[in-house]
Amino acid sequence: MFHERRHLTDFHSSRIGHVVTDVLVVGSGVAGARAAIEAGASADVILISKKDFPAGSTRYAQGGIACAIGDGDSADAHIADTIRVGCGLNRRTVVEHVVRAAPALLDELMSWGFAVDRTGGRIALTREGGHSRNRVVHARGDATGLELSETLQRRIRSIRSIRIFEQCFLVDLVTIDGVCVGAITHHVKYGHQIIWAQRTILAGGGCGQVYRETTNPSTITGDAVAAAYRAGAVISDIEFVQFHPTTLYIAGAGRALISEAVRGEGAHLVDRAGLRFMPEHHPDAELAPRDVVSRAITRHMLATRTNCVYLDARHVRGFPERFPSITKLCAEFQIDVSRDLIPVRPSAHYLIGGIETDAAGATSVPGLLACGECACTGLHGANRLASNSLLEGLVTGSAAGKSAANAARSASRATTIPLVRHESARSDRTELDLSDIRNSLRSVMWRNVGIERTAERLRETVEILDFWGHYVLDKTFDEPAGWETQNLLTVARLIAVSALARPESIGVHFRSDAPSGAPPALYHTRCRRGDSDRVERSP
């Protein structure tokens, strides 16, 4: 069923509304916004946002933007850190391009009003896990993502060639003879419509909601990756899902991020007895790469039979000024950061793999581009270096927007609306409890395809997902909750199948059943619809 379903909804182009543009951008986080800005300089653009604009994970980002501009730092050092943390699976040309583009893009952002934090008139730089230098630029203390979102929002609203469609859900991509020509969308007010575009850019974020515990907002359900997969795009390295080591653990509450920068400023991880445990796991202790810290926390919780560990930031001077949002968040749960320990545990945070693209955002489907978290450029390798994600969104968004606009300008718009249609066989199954399916899916993925994995549990997961898929994917829904559930199932299965196909441990993909001491092989996994369970390997 996962390989058979091409469209999630029935449609006929002669019976629904149409909108025509040069470039369609799906997603309004950092990558989508930056793509729209770049494309809007020379082309007509429609940007669709799943909820109100801006949406996505960007505004929740606390850490910052990695940029090698400090004394004693260099692009070469940033490149080396990125590749070391990525376990050498990175595509070096992409790493070099992204890292070297950072200073100019930061200058551009500041010219648009992006207000970075400063110390003594100089840009303040902090250090985070995996970095060998202080090189993370931040804003509003720990609200960098919010400042960035608002900066890009102001810029977009000043460009008349960009139209914004809010509350607009990507249902599927439209292809004719294998070429992407736009998308079927569902608007909260106008219902189904087809947006025809010379080029379509996917910037819809990751898929954190496939896991029971995640830092991602509830809207991050893998829609872009699933739609691209159904359209025939190659999905690469999707088994690599990064878990953030420190999210606030309050029973019954959502998993709010406690920034990596807290440890960068000197906070320690301790157990309930107040004892540090990270120095015994890695020379960099709390500033080890995220996969190392997440596994260490998980194992310590298991060994001590506890639900969490703690961040001790009581000795960090000026904590409320440096981390105002975190201080406020903790206070809501009667945690005084100046005298109390902060309970934390890992949560799913970032999709490293995704839709395979080149440096300009091109996918394996002509007419379709992707950027940001939903794309897999090879920048991160097997593990993402902290604060490289906002940087990636800026660089890849800019590149995709420029490429799409150039291609759209050289193409001629169709004078008639193409006739496209899809009708699926109606399922006679009864109504489904979508909430129950989603909760069950998230629990299975958390238990079996989380921080530590085994072949036995991965096979069990694939069998469970196949069973659910038979009665969920054969239904045709008419509202986003159903489509989101189908997307979550699709992406979850891609993660599980790809994880099963990589028997070695590398980066965030840790196989506890892998032979001890076996060096990981450096290859990329690739899969596409129609290939059944075949996962290819490529250099």
Average pLDDT for residues 383-405, to the nearest whole number? 97
Rounded distance, CA 382 to CA 86, Å?
A: 5
86 sits in the region (left: phi over 0; alpha: psi -120 to 50; else beta) called: alpha
Average pLDDT for residues 106-130, to the nearest whole number? 95
Contact 102, 116 (CB under 8 A): no
Rounded distance, CA 286 to CA 264, Å?
A: 8
Q: Is the pLDDT of residue 347 over 80?
A: yes
The per-residue pLDDT for range 8-17, each reduced to its tens digit, is: 887 887 788 8
Q: If pLDDT is split at 50, 70 and 90, which confidence band does 532 have? A: low
Average pLDDT for residues 69-78, to the nearest whole number? 97
Residue 322: alpha-carbon gap to chain centroid = 26
Taking each helix axis from N to C terminus, what angle separates 389-410 and 30-40, rounded to the nearest 10 degrees? 30
Contact 24, 48 (CB under 8 A): yes
Q: What is the 3-state secondary structure (H, E, C) of 387-429?
A: CCHHHHHHHHHHHHHHHHHHHHHHCCCCCCCCCCEECCCCCCC
Rounded distance, CA 221 to CA 204, Å?
A: 9
Contact 33, 152 (CB under 8 A): yes
Structure tokens at 478: 């008419």
Question: What pLDDT, on a 0 to 100 scale, did the predictor assign at position 414?
Answer: 64
Q: Is the pLDDT of residue 331 over 90?
A: yes
pLDDT: is 533 or 217 the higher one?
A: 217
Phi, psi (degrees; rounded to nearest 5) at 310: -135, 150
120 sits in the region (left: phi over 0; alpha: psi -120 to 50; else beta) called: left
For residue 100, CA distances in Å to 30, 51, 222, 362, 495 come to 19, 33, 30, 21, 31
The per-residue pLDDT for range 89-101, each reduced to its tens digit, is: 999 999 999 999 9
Phi, psi (degrees; rounded to nearest 5) at 236: -125, 140
Contact 298, 451 (CB under 8 A): yes
The per-residue pLDDT for range 351-361, each reduced to its tens digit, is: 999 999 999 99
Structure tokens at 460: 């069990």
Average pLDDT for residues 141-146, to the nearest whole number? 91
User: What is the second-level CATH architecture of the domain 11-240+352-410?
Assistant: 3-Layer(bba) Sandwich (3.50)
DSSP 189-201: TTEEEEEEEEEEE
Residue 487 DSSP SS3 = helix
Structure tokens at 372: 């940001």
The per-residue pLDDT for range 293-304, each reduced to its tens digit, is: 999 999 999 999
Positions of E strands within 152-270: 162-165, 168-176, 179-187, 191-202, 235-236, 241-248, 268-270
The per-residue pLDDT for range 223-258, each reduced to its tens digit, is: 999 999 999 999 999 999 999 999 999 988 888 899
* Average of per-residue pLDDT values in the chain: 93
Structure tokens at 137: 């630029």
The per-residue pLDDT for range 456-491, each reduced to its tens digit, is: 999 999 999 999 998 899 888 889 999 999 999 999
Q: Which residues pair with 236 in a beta bridge?
A: 354, 526
Q: What is the dihedral of CA 402, 404, 405, 411, to 10 degrees?
A: 150
The per-residue pLDDT for range 395-422, each reduced to its tens digit, is: 999 999 999 999 998 877 665 667 777 7
Q: Which of 242, 383, 241, 258 is nearest to 308 (CA)?
A: 258
Phi, psi (degrees; rounded to nearest 5) at 42: -145, 10
End-to-end CA distance of the chain: 30
Q: If pLDDT is split at 50, 70 and 90, which confidence band does 114 have? A: very high
Residue 536 DSSP SS3 = strand
Domain ranges of the chain: 11-240+352-410, 246-346, 427-518
Question: What pLDDT, on a 0 to 100 scale, did the predictor assign at position 431?
Answer: 78
Rounded distance, CA 137 to CA 239, Å?
A: 29
Find the largest Cα–Cα distance for the chain: 72
Q: If pLDDT is split at 50, 70 and 90, which confidence band does 344 have? A: very high
CATH number of 427-518: 1.20.58.100
Question: What pLDDT, on a 0 to 100 scale, did the predictor assign at position 426?
Answer: 62
Structure tokens at 72: 């004693």
Contact 172, 97 (CB under 8 A): no
Residue 474: alpha-carbon gap to chain centroid = 27
Question: What pLDDT, on a 0 to 100 scale, did the predictor assign at position 415?
Answer: 59
Rounded distance, CA 530 to CA 536, Å?
A: 13
Q: If pLDDT is split at 50, 70 and 90, which confidence band does 3 have? A: low
Q: Which of 371, 379, 508, 515 is nearest to 455 (CA)?
A: 515
Rg (CA), the chain: 22
**How many C-beta atoms surround the C-beta of residue 539 within 10 A?**
5
Residue 4 DSSP SS3 = coil
The per-residue pLDDT for range 416-442, each reduced to its tens digit, is: 667 777 777 666 556 789 999 999 999
User: What is the second-level CATH architecture of the domain 246-346?
Assistant: Alpha-Beta Complex (3.90)
pLDDT: is 531 or 239 the higher one?
A: 239
List CB contacts of 137: < 8 A, sequence separation 6 or more.
64, 65, 66, 67, 69, 106, 116, 117, 123, 124, 125, 144
Rounded distance, CA 397 to CA 28, Å?
A: 11
The per-residue pLDDT for range 269-296, each reduced to its tens digit, is: 999 999 999 999 999 999 998 889 999 9
Question: What pLDDT, on a 0 to 100 scale, did the predictor assign at position 254?
Answer: 80
Rounded distance, CA 427 to CA 254, Å?
A: 35
Tell the residue number behind the tokens 């997440």, with chain if given.
Answer: 294
Q: If pLDDT is split at 50, 70 and 90, which confidence band does 140 have? A: very high
Q: If pLDDT is split at 50, 70 and 90, which confidence band does 148 have? A: very high
List CB contacts of 59: < 8 A, sequence separation 6 or more.
29, 145, 146, 148, 149
Q: If pLDDT is split at 50, 70 and 90, which confidence band does 364 have? A: very high
Q: If pLDDT is split at 50, 70 and 90, which confidence band does 129 have? A: confident
How many percent of the chain have pLDDT more than 90?
Answer: 81
Phi, psi (degrees; rounded to nearest 5) at 491: -70, -40
Question: What pLDDT, on a 0 to 100 scale, did the predictor assign at position 425?
Answer: 63
Average pLDDT for residues 478-507, to the nearest whole number? 96
Q: If pLDDT is split at 50, 70 and 90, which confidence band does 310 have? A: very high
Type and span of the H or E element at 327: helix 324-332
User: Catalytic: 295?
Assistant: no
Question: What pLDDT, on a 0 to 100 scale, did the predictor assign at position 350?
Answer: 96
Q: If pLDDT is split at 50, 70 and 90, which confidence band does 2 have? A: low
Question: What pLDDT, on a 0 to 100 scale, did the predictor assign at position 427?
Answer: 62
Contact 186, 172 (CB under 8 A): no
Structure tokens at 296: 């260490």
Question: What pLDDT, on a 0 to 100 scale, did the predictor assign at position 461?
Answer: 98
Q: Which of the residues 263, 290, 345, 438 is marked catalytic?
A: 290
Question: What pLDDT, on a 0 to 100 scale, did the predictor assign at position 82?
Answer: 98
Q: Is the pLDDT of residue 41 over 70?
A: yes
